Amino acid sequence: LPVIRAQNTPDYMPDSKFYKIEAILRPWRVSQVSSGLLKMGIRGVTISDVRGFGAQGGSKERHAGSEFSEDMFVAKVKLEIVVSKDQVEEVIDKIIEEARTGEIGDGKIFLVPVSDVIRVRTGERGEKGERMTGGRSDMISTANPV
């Protein structure tokens, strides 16, 4: 029963055609990250202002006041980027390259399988739904015509 055993090990990762790369980053590094992604043909990106705490604990950016007050949460930006499987590693590498300072608080990246992508305008699903005109796939096929 190798399949069942695989699903019960902590390193089990469901295979998927698409993944969401969810990166929690320093707000002041986000424009650098987005322009890096845009240059490599990543055009579909969603960002939100979020607040959180991790090892940084809030101490660096907290105002004077109680440890139990809201300011133990540090302002971060969450980037959500859905890409096809073959684009995952290069996007993660680019985010690290542009976001890393080496100090505590650089953030974290979560990788989440995505079961479908549906374009509202056309109703397209799957590969057609995920594909961006002029995006990464187009850049690659134009650079290496068959």
Binding site for ligand GLN (CB under 6 A): 42-44, 81-84, 87, 130-132, 135-137
139 binds ligand ATP (CB under 6 A): no
Give which of ligand GLN, ligand ATP, none residue 121 binds (C-beta under 5 to 8 Å, depending on kind).
ligand ATP
Q: Which is nearer to ligand ATP, 80 or 98 (CB)?
A: 80
Task: Give the separation between CA 138 and CA 140, rounded to whole angstroms.
Answer: 5
At its nearest, how many Å lie between ligand ATP and the CB of residue 135? 9
CA neighbor of 40 nearest in space, from 90, 99, 110, 78: 90
63 binds ligand ATP (CB under 6 A): no
Task: Give the separation between CA 99 and CA 106, rounded to whole angstroms.
Answer: 7
Q: What angle do CA 78, 55, 68 make, to 5 degrees?
A: 90
The three-class DSSP label of residue 84 is strand
46 binds ligand ATP (CB under 6 A): yes
At its nearest, how many Å lie between ligand ATP and the CB of residue 26? 20
Task: Give the pair of three-digit tokens for residue 35.
Answer: 């322009």
Q: Is 25 exposed, middle or buried (0-12, 13-18, 19+ CB in 10 A)?
A: buried
33, 98 Cβ separation under 8 angstroms? yes
Q: Which stretch binds ligand ATP (CB under 6 A): 29-37, 42-50, 59-67, 92-100?
A: 42-50
Q: Which stretch binds ligand ATP (CB under 6 A): 8-16, 77-85, 107-115, 136-144?
A: 77-85
Q: Which is nearer to ligand GLN, 65 or 113 (CB)?
A: 113
At its nearest, how many Å lie between ligand GLN and the CB of residue 51? 25
